[in-house]
Structure 1
Amino acid sequence: MKNFWTFLFILICNFAFSQKTMQGQVIDFDTTVPIAFAKINYNNKTIISDWEGKFSIDVKDDKKPIIFKYKGYYDKTHYFTEGAKFLIIKMVNDNTMKEKEIYSENEVNLIVKKIIDNKYKNQPEKVFKSFEYKNYEHLLVTANPDSISSKIDTTYKKSIFGRKKIVLDSTNYKLKKLVENQHIYQTEKVNLIQFNDQGTKETVLASRMAGFKKPLYEYLGLNLVSYSLYENQLDILEIPVRNPLSTYGRKLFVFKLIDTVKIDNRTVYRIYFQPKKLNSDKLRGLLFVDAENFGIAKAFYRIYGIININATFTFNYMKEHRIWFPEKRKFTVVKGNNSEDLKIFGGTIKFNSSLEGIKKDASDQLYLKLESTPYDVKINEPVSFKMPSIKIDVPEASMTKPDSYWKPIRKDTLDVRRIRTYTNLDSLSVSENIEQKLLFGRKIINGYLPVSIIDVDLKTLFKYNNYEGFRLGIGGVTNNKLSEQYKISGYVAFGFKDEKFKYGITPSYLLNKETNTWVNASYVDDLSEIGQIQFATQARRFKIYDPRPINISTFYNHKTFSGFIESQYIPKTTSYFGISRSEVLPLFDYAFAPNDRLYQNFNLTTAQFAIQWNPFSGYMQTSTGRLEIEKRFPKFSLQLTKSFNNIIGSDFDFTKVDFKIIHEIPYLSGQNTAFLLQSGYAVGDTPLTHLYSIAPNNLNRETLFQRITFAGKNSFETMFFNEFFSSKYVSFHVKHTFNKVKVAYKIKPLISVVTRMAWGNMDNRESHLGFEYKTMERGFFESGVEANQIFKGFGLTFFMRYGPNALPKFEDNFALKLSYVLDLGF
């Protein structure tokens, strides 16, 4: 009997030690995207990887192959690897299948159709007349201390003379000690979400941000992930993403029915979805769908690429309303398959890849995590709010809630690192004056240097053009330290070539703080480029240099008195109305002869109305005014200018209408496509100074290298200065910007491809004397490539002119330009 038990023990031990477990993840070789539900064959048995491509398999015989299969990929054969804790199985695309689409099975296709058809029964905004709830939201940047090595590394760096020197790198050690004690960064807020027949409104009830006495408004408006899963587009990192449950979702995604499970004692389908196109690096996920009402009970969304995003949505079933209502959102951002940093809150934070088993740098172990939890839910009770067009309202009182307010609200009482984060970062903010530095940075990025009660206007300090030569000046505007009710802006400059002073002054008074309504008066004695197109509502853009005027010699002097009002009173708009009186003197060989009367200088009395409308943007109402927190496209600008004859000595009667549409499509990969459609129409006796030259930016010189200058923004790089003029025109610009391309160490240019075109003609051409130009009835076309930020902000652009207005000399159709992009890090 004793021998029997001994034999049995040896047999069991032998069996136990001979059976080994292999764990791993199946991913795409090129994109590193996990391959969901791949078939794994071993020893005449088949298992399936989960929806994240992960698997666990028991191996008895090391010599037998493990075969991985997935439609659209070559089979992958692997053998057990001794000592490997976690294996990454990389499968290669079958090029013969690469362009083919995968289609959903009929059964799951019908279920998805019912989800879409039953939205009106399951989406709270469609079911309820009104609802409201409070929402606690906590965001942090942190890392798992266990993922970071405390080892102090020794690295070798080359000196200027090529000699190797030893450098001790304690970054890992310091970071590990920091995250053991606290999180890197954190913020939290409580907001009230309200819905009625006017729409949805968010009111911030309380907020705080570690290191800041008052939270940044940009954070309060940050929308990292959508609240609802039923809209046609989902917001992820403030970028619209196509929703698989939209009306066109079944055309873009393939769905797979996995099984059925129970949630809240209700049967739900578990459905996996991914893009139809193989090798498409976009949204994937797992849906839990109620088998009775086809509402979403739970959802997991994933995006793998430049950044890796994990989003989890859970819902609570309301029996009395037979609907799944939001219960919690979790959102995590980690670094993907790129070497660039992900920027947020004006700083730079590094995030690591979510694939297991890959060694990363310590800073790459950081991740961003957002959690939001609704509570105090009220259904179909009376709900009212003001200004439905304003998406978020931030009362001043929400900024100063005491610690006692947060204790009963905070959901995670076990995380002791949270309290330490607030204490340590608050002290760090005081010692290093972080808050003031960030406010300083905001002004710098808009072109102002704060000095006591005055913000110095950096744009006025230095300029150069062919008429004035070097132009030095000083200007600025008073800030809130002097007064919040009024401000005075002004400047003075001197041109060393024309030896004349130019100046301007504009006192302003604040009529309404909430709508940012200012009434202004102004006097200017200065130069302006002829034929330029300016919208009064156009946002100020700061440049250290303005490249186009450097090579311009055709200006006009104007002495202008004006009064104008700027306001955001109309929701989602910025509007301008002004009246001005100008004395205009062309500073080039030109005379205007309407109705056989000759003018070499003239007076204009004009009224101007301009409006910019951003219908798809989201706005926040704060104590200091309205902020555009969600910059969505398209955006529309309209400007009407009317000159009156014989009013305060005005010489001409003309009307101008200018229109512009800007549209941008951002992608989660970091790429961007931008469109600009712009047109203008002038009718009546309009002098050439106030017509359209459509932003040319090329020198009329003999060789390509003699024409090298700085490239402009939305300017025609192959069009010569003063080559074309129009009284009516239309132009169209398309630009696609790719991700940075690593060419060499620290050389990572930002590549863009650009196409521009324009058409125009000129009425009453015989009235403009002494000035030769062409018109564009047949159209003007150019295309090119921009390689920006090659080194220290400098880059190169190359453009080619073609079409009916191509020049006879082949070389003259090309333009090579320098570019410069200033990155202040904000």
Structure 2
Amino acid sequence: MYIKIRSIVRADFFIPTFVIILLHDLNKIILMRKFWVFLFILFCNYAISQKIMQGQVIDYDTTVPIAFAKITHNNKTISSNWEGKFTITITDDKKPIVVTYKGYYDKNYHLTVGAKFLIIKMVNNNTMKEKEIFSENQVNLIIKKVIENKKSNQPEKALNTFEYKNYEHLLVTANPDSISSKIDTIYKKSLFGRKKMQFDSTNYKFKKLVENQHIYQTEKVNLLQHNNSGTKETIIASRMAGFKKPLYEYLGLNLVSYSLYENSLDILEIPIRNPISSYGRKLFVFKIIDTVKIQDRTVYRIYFQPKKLNSNKLRGLLFVDAENFAIAKAFYRIYGIVNINATYTFNYLKDHKVWFPEKRKFIVVKGNNSEDLKVFGGTIKFNSSIEGLQKDASDQMYLKLESTPYDVKINEAVFFKTPSIKIDVPEASMSKPDSYWESLKKDTLDRRRLRTYTNLDSLSLAENIEQKIFLGKKIINGYVPVSFVDIDLKTLIKFNNYEGFRLGIGGVTNNKLSDKYKISGYVAYGFKDDKLKYGITPSYLLNKETNSWVSASYVDDLSEIGQIQFATQSRRFKIYDPRPINISTFYNHKTYSTFIESKYVPKTDIYFGLARTEIQPLFGYIYNVNDKLYSNFTFTTAQFAIQWSPFSGYMQTSSGRLEIEKRFPKFSFQFTKSFENILDSDFDFSKIDLRITHEIPFLSGQNTSLIFQSGFAFGNVPLTHLYSIAPNNLNRETLFKRITFAGKNSFETMFFNEFFSSKYVSFHVKHTFNKVKLAYKIKPLISVVTRMAWGEMDKPEQHIGLQYKTMERGFFESGVEVNQIFKGLGLTFFVRYGPNALPKFEDNFALKLSYILDLGF
């Protein structure tokens, strides 16, 4: 009982005390709660009164981001980054965002209701359009020192020797997280005009594809070596998804330059003027952003852009070492038809005081184009818009290349053969086992890589992709392989005014028969002249490495008079040859010859031949030499020809040398000498021919081509072997009766046999624009063309029977080509003007059809 009472007493005592304490604490809690509620309300009011917004400043016309623009709101100023992006706190919705940038009008931007991301478009100030924007003196001095110190900073010049292995991985892929998986409902009209509902699952399927694998990928390991002789690349290993043996074109692919110090940078195989070159300084404006630390070294962060602000040219960030003025890091970006990002990182080698390449990263995404992206003539290609695919999915596709050096060796002994050959590809590098590649995996988390190889290898096997590419390469050169013979497509059918329809067949044996020798030949029959023509040429391989062949030949056939042919001219496929269709002036020739063709000298194609030719003109012509008249004649000639491509890059493979970087200009030279009284030769004469071709590609997809050509014949040269400079116009009364097919580099308003020359010079300029979309699947390729020529004729009294004119005053024509309007067909229109314009107005115009066969390779 005592215990119980005591317990009760203690309980009674404890209860009121606890209540008092509890009431006191509760009062505190209530006060604290009111305090926090007050703070919460205050915070909400503040949060509602301000917003954190992200945005980007771009050019109104080009949509190119404007870097480091000044952005002011409510007396607070920030700057956009080098991609034009920014984050700003909006404290007053009623006050505008003011954006300023030199060369643009100031922009007052007011927030719109519900805006989540700000796109601020700046308009170029036309009053400053003709004014150049110059860099500040301080940054000008830094860039000047970068250029002056190239010799001490560029590894190729600063180091005696170096070599390193380089792992390069290229893929075409997309980020699956950025692709919508929804299945859309679309409506299509039936045959009777009724609407029919269909489900479009293309996005869903595409998302599933890229979740499982990449769209395409390739890998290679190369050894880069440098010494006093130059820089050499040797392929150690390579593989391509879907192919048992990688394509040589891929192995020679150079999407982005290795070095940042050359006068021009290679981007997508197109040379771009380097900002850190003497001429580049005139094209770009530079701005110091700040200084940062890289590997404990102080570097300037410098932004550059074109002086023409609305240009789509190169932009970027350079990180310049403040002590030795070397490039420590770089970002390059191009906006336009394709958007290109290139990142270079370097590692500072303290012992050698040089920044050495550490990694290259290159990304290409679709820009403001609707065409497929093709790299290296279509060797690597992915669609910018997939058929039936929603835009949000196709826009996520990109090409990515990563290049990582390893096993770097500096100033050790480096030896290699043939420095003029850029790339060596040993046969062993084409078939490395999977275990080799496992040791090189740089990203073990990317499980899609292995599936890409497995799935694409299965697809390639199922669809016989390798065989299709092999066949395509043959067709490009005009052949179709049938067992051990490649059928020559050019021999199958022809037409001209002398022979009428000409049917034939020809071909050349391939390496299934032998790697050491080949036999080419053809036979053809003309239905109008009722004559058989034929030729045979056996050849023997002297040296596989230099593609050196020795050949003998006999030909009994026809040739056009006055044509210009270079023995080293490459053969390209034409489903038809348009010019001879309307030619009626031919000569028959029976030619015995022997000749050697070789690539022994790097970057050259060489031809040397000896021939005896019996000529019979097949039109009314007499050649008068010293009052002796010739209706038939015989030549014994020697001919030397060379094509030199000094700026192209070549690859040495097990099957010979390949031109893998077609760079311009290219030079072709040919000398022909006829010897009188040797093997019954009638005349002594000489001919010198020269051609220079140049092409200027643009990242926009446009192209400018130039051809300079000249010929000089001296001695006793019959009209059959002088120059008519490729005329291609019929001598008929009206414009529409003269419609025929246009040639490639022919004078479309010049009539056949209108002009002849013993010496001439001609110049062709052609600019091709991007395709223009006129309607669904109608996207013509438009070119503007100008051609001109001058010529003279020595001893015109020697040529009897054919009336012609000469071109001392020059011949000029210009026109427009609208090619590939529909199924490869197009139209061209040319006009003749100048001193040789014709009296009848209509005769100065030429309307032609054109045809370009696109094989998709």
Please state whether the residue corresponding to 1:633 is helix, strand or coil: coil
- Give the aligned partner of residue 273 of structure 1: 304
- Give the aligned partner of residue 297 of structure 1: 328
TM-score (norm 1): 0.98
Rounded to whole Å, the distance in 1 between the matches of 2:737 and 2:384 is 46
- Give the aligned partner of residue 776 of structure 1: 807
- Give the aligned partner of residue 64 of structure 1: 95
- Give the aligned partner of residue 483 of structure 1: 514
Partner deviation per Cα, 1:540-571 (whole Å, 9 max, x = no partner)? 01111111111100000111111111110011
Shift of 1:79: 2.6
Shift of 1:160: 6.6
Please state whether the residue corresponding to 1:146 is helix, strand or coil: helix
Shift of 1:167: 4.2
Rounded to whole Å, the distance in 1 between the matches of 2:429 and 2:180 is 41
- Give the aligned partner of residue 662 of structure 2: 631
- Give the aligned partner of residue 80 of structure 1: 111
Rounded to whole Å, the distance in 2 between the matches of 1:496 and 1:784 is 36
- Give the aligned partner of residue 383 of structure 2: 350
Q: Which moved more, 1:813-822 or 1:744-753?
A: 744-753
Does the C-alpha gap of structure 1 residues 351 and 504 become closer, same or farther in structure 2, counting only changes over 3 Å? same
Please state whether the residue corresponding to 2:769 is helix, strand or coil: strand
Does the C-alpha gap of structure 1 residues 165 and 5 become closer, same or farther in structure 2, counting only changes over 3 Å? closer
Rounded to whole Å, the distance in 2 between the matches of 1:352 and 1:232 is 35
Structure 1's unaligned 5+ residue stretches are 354-358
Q: How does 1:261-660 map to 2 (within 5 A)?
A: 261-344=292-375, 345-346=378-379, 348-351=381-384, 360-660=391-691
- Give the aligned partner of residue 22 of structure 2: none
Checking the alignment, whether the CA contact within 8 Å between 2:370 and 2:385 is kept in structure 1 is no
- Give the aligned partner of residue 254 of structure 1: 285
Shift of 1:732: 0.7
Rounded to whole Å, the distance in 1 between the matches of 2:568 and 2:515 is 22
Checking the alignment, whether the CA contact within 8 Å between 2:249 and 2:379 is kept in structure 1 is no
- Give the aligned partner of residue 691 of structure 1: 722
Give the fraction of aligned pairs with identical amino acids, expressed as a percent. Answer: 80
Q: Which moved more, 1:68-77 or 1:184-193?
A: 68-77
Shift of 1:347: 5.8
Rounded to whole Å, the distance in 1 between the matches of 2:720 and 2:180 is 67
- Give the aligned partner of residue 187 of structure 2: 156
Shift of 1:659: 0.6
Checking the alignment, whether the CA contact within 8 Å between 1:555 and 1:586 is kept in structure 2 is yes
Select which of 149, 156, 159 maps to 1:118.
149
- Give the aligned partner of residue 41 of structure 2: 10
Rounded to whole Å, the distance in 2 between the matches of 1:118 and 1:743 is 52
Shift of 1:59: 1.4
Rounded to whole Å, the distance in 1 between the matches of 2:421 and 2:775 is 47
Give the residue type in structure 2 aligned to 1:171: T
Larger Rg: 2
- Give the aligned partner of residue 356 of structure 1: none
Please state whether the residue corresponding to 1:593 is helix, strand or coil: strand
Rounded to whole Å, the distance in 1 between the matches of 2:364 and 2:790 is 46
- Give the aligned partner of residue 219 of structure 1: 250
- Give the aligned partner of residue 138 of structure 2: 107
- Give the aligned partner of residue 765 of structure 2: 734
Does the C-alpha gap of structure 1 residues 246 and 352 become closer, same or farther in structure 2, counting only changes over 3 Å? farther
1:194 counterpart = 2:225: yes
Checking the alignment, whether the CA contact within 8 Å between 1:350 and 1:367 is kept in structure 2 is no
Checking the alignment, whether the CA contact within 8 Å between 1:352 and 1:366 is kept in structure 2 is no
Checking the alignment, whether the CA contact within 8 Å between 2:365 and 2:397 is kept in structure 1 is yes
Rounded to whole Å, the distance in 2 between the matches of 1:704 and 1:140 is 53
Shift of 1:336: 0.7
1:32 counterpart = 2:74: no
Checking the alignment, whether the CA contact within 8 Å between 2:648 and 2:660 is kept in structure 1 is yes
Please state whether the residue corresponding to 2:629 is helix, strand or coil: coil
- Give the aligned partner of residue 705 of structure 1: 736
Checking the alignment, whether the CA contact within 8 Å between 2:811 and 2:836 is kept in structure 1 is yes
1:49 counterpart = 2:90: no
Give the residue type in structure 2 aligned to 1:664: E
Shift of 1:743: 2.2
Checking the alignment, whether the CA contact within 8 Å between 1:351 and 1:365 is kept in structure 2 is no
Rounded to whole Å, the distance in 2 between the matches of 1:506 and 1:160 is 58
Rounded to whole Å, the distance in 2 between the matches of 1:326 and 1:637 is 38
Rounded to whole Å, the distance in 1 between the matches of 2:259 and 2:206 is 37
Shift of 1:340: 1.2
Please state whether the residue corresponding to 2:707 is helix, strand or coil: strand
Partner deviation per Cα, 1:655-691 (whole Å, 9 max, x = no partner)? 1111110011111111111110111111111111111
Shift of 1:18: 3.5
Rounded to whole Å, the distance in 1 between the matches of 2:203 and 2:686 is 66
Rounded to whole Å, the distance in 2 between the matches of 1:305 and 1:101 is 22
Checking the alignment, whether the CA contact within 8 Å between 1:352 and 1:365 is kept in structure 2 is no
Checking the alignment, whether the CA contact within 8 Å between 1:156 and 1:164 is kept in structure 2 is yes
Checking the alignment, whether the CA contact within 8 Å between 2:180 and 2:392 is kept in structure 1 is no
Checking the alignment, whether the CA contact within 8 Å between 2:371 and 2:384 is kept in structure 1 is no
Checking the alignment, whether the CA contact within 8 Å between 1:100 and 1:278 is kept in structure 2 is no
Partner deviation per Cα, 1:294-324 (whole Å, 9 max, x = no partner)? 1111000000001110000000011111111
Rounded to whole Å, the distance in 2 between the matches of 1:164 and 1:250 is 61
Shift of 1:350: 2.6
Please state whether the residue corresponding to 1:176 is helix, strand or coil: helix
Checking the alignment, whether the CA contact within 8 Å between 1:25 and 1:89 is kept in structure 2 is yes
Partner deviation per Cα, 1:275-308 (whole Å, 9 max, x = no partner)? 0112111000001111111111100000000111
Q: Which moved more, 1:247-256 or 1:309-318?
A: 247-256
Shift of 1:713: 0.8
Rounded to whole Å, the distance in 2 between the matches of 1:689 and 1:126 is 55
Rounded to whole Å, the distance in 1 between the matches of 2:466 and 2:118 is 46
- Give the aligned partner of residue 241 of structure 1: 272
- Give the aligned partner of residue 709 of structure 2: 678
Shift of 1:614: 0.4
Please state whether the residue corresponding to 1:367 is helix, strand or coil: strand
Select which of 695, 700, 720 maps to 1:664.
695
Rounded to whole Å, the distance in 2 between the matches of 1:499 and 1:186 is 56
Give the residue type in structure 2 aligned to 1:94: N
Rounded to whole Å, the distance in 1 between the matches of 2:191 and 2:691 is 52
Does the C-alpha gap of structure 1 residues 632 and 785 become closer, same or farther in structure 2, counting only changes over 3 Å? same
Checking the alignment, whether the CA contact within 8 Å between 1:448 and 1:458 is kept in structure 2 is yes
Rounded to whole Å, the distance in 1 between the matches of 2:311 and 2:410 is 41
Please state whether the residue corresponding to 1:231 is helix, strand or coil: coil
Rounded to whole Å, the distance in 1 between the matches of 2:620 and 2:185 is 70
Give the residue type in structure 2 aligned to 1:154: T
Q: Which moved more, 1:25-34 or 1:229-238?
A: 25-34
Please state whether the residue corresponding to 1:441 is helix, strand or coil: helix
Structure 1 segments (4+ residues) deviating >3 Å: 81-85, 156-168, 344-348
Give the residue type in structure 2 aligned to 1:508: S
Q: Which moved more, 1:3-12 or 1:670-679?
A: 3-12
Checking the alignment, whether the CA contact within 8 Å between 1:333 and 1:351 is kept in structure 2 is no
Please state whether the residue corresponding to 1:254 is helix, strand or coil: strand
- Count of residues in Structure 1 that have an aligned counterpart in Structure 2: 821
- Give the aligned partner of residue 819 of structure 2: 788
Q: Which moved more, 1:160-169 or 1:44-53?
A: 160-169
Shift of 1:47: 1.1
Partner deviation per Cα, 1:562-599 (whole Å, 9 max, x = no partner)? 11111100110001111111111100000111111111
Rounded to whole Å, the distance in 2 between the matches of 1:352 and 1:226 is 28
Rounded to whole Å, the distance in 1 between the matches of 2:650 and 2:75 is 61
Checking the alignment, whether the CA contact within 8 Å between 2:370 and 2:384 is kept in structure 1 is no
TM-score (norm 2): 0.94
Rounded to whole Å, the distance in 1 between the matches of 2:629 and 2:135 is 75
Please state whether the residue corresponding to 1:739 is helix, strand or coil: coil
Rounded to whole Å, the distance in 1 between the matches of 2:190 and 2:522 is 47
1:824 counterpart = 2:852: no
